[in-house]
């Protein structure tokens, strides 16, 4: 049985039955457009599975290391994560679907889909490796954190173009740019 598949036979129908799960291992193939976990990296789980009327509740935390790509300059970086988990696994597939939980199949809770969901939802929409990241030059693509290509200072906001052209025509046709 895979390390994320937990037999809950002893929890089915027990009131207040619980089981602690402390384990770690790889989550292979975890790759999204914004972040990924290397196949060799371990994810650690520290959960308590509790029997609750029609389901098994999983409460605890998940931690590991996420690889991200900066949305401004595309540099790859790593960031640790520690996420709280509070999810339910239902014995009835219809209840699992209606209550937006997970399903217990053949008395086994598969933690992998829940783990993937929790981690994906924690990935920032626009990850940045530092708050002061300058990004890439829109003109030449140079990394503005590493060097100044001089293009960034010449940017003209096109919304001001009509005003700049009016000012240029009134000043005798000079081609000076308006400072902002």
Which residue is it, tokens 């790509």?
69
CA distance 144 to 155: 14
Q: Residue 82 — φ and ψ, nearest 5°?
A: -140, 110
- What's the angle, vertex CA 11, arms to CA 8 and CA 12, rounded to 5? 90
What is the chain's mean pLDDT, rounded?
Answer: 87
Tell me the HSE value of 161 on the side-chain side, using a 13 A CA sphere.
5
**Tens-place pLDDT, residues 119-174:** 999 999 999 999 999 999 888 888 999 988 877 565 567 788 888 888 888 876 54
Q: So what's the pLDDT on residue 178? A: 47
Model confidence, pTM = 0.76
**Tens-place pLDDT, residues 56-67:** 999 999 999 999
Q: Are 72 and 136 in contact (CB under 8 A)?
A: yes
């Amino acid at each position: 049985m895979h390390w994320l598949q937990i037999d809950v036979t002893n929890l089915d129908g027990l009131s207040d039955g619980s089981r602690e799960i402390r384990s770690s291992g790889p989550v292979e193939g975890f790759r999204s457009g914004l972040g990924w976990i290397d196949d060799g990296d371990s994810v650690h789980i520290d959960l308590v599975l509790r029997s609750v009327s029609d389901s098994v509740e999983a409460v605890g935390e998940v931690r590991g290391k996420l690889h991200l790509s900066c949305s401004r300059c595309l540099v790859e970086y790593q960031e640790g994560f520690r996420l709280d988990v509070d999810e339910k696994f239902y014995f009835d597939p219809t209840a699992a679907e209606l209550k937006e939980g997970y399903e217990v199949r053949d008395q086994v809770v598969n933690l992998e889909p829940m783990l993937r969901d929790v981690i994906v939802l924690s990935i920032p929409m626009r990850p940045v490796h530092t708050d002061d990241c300058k990004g890439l030059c829109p003109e030449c693509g140079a990394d503005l954190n590493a060097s100044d290509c001089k293009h960034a200072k010449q940017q003209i906001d096109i919304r001001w173009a009509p005003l700049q052209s009016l000012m240029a025509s009134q000043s005798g046709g000079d081609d000076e740019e308006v400072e902002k």
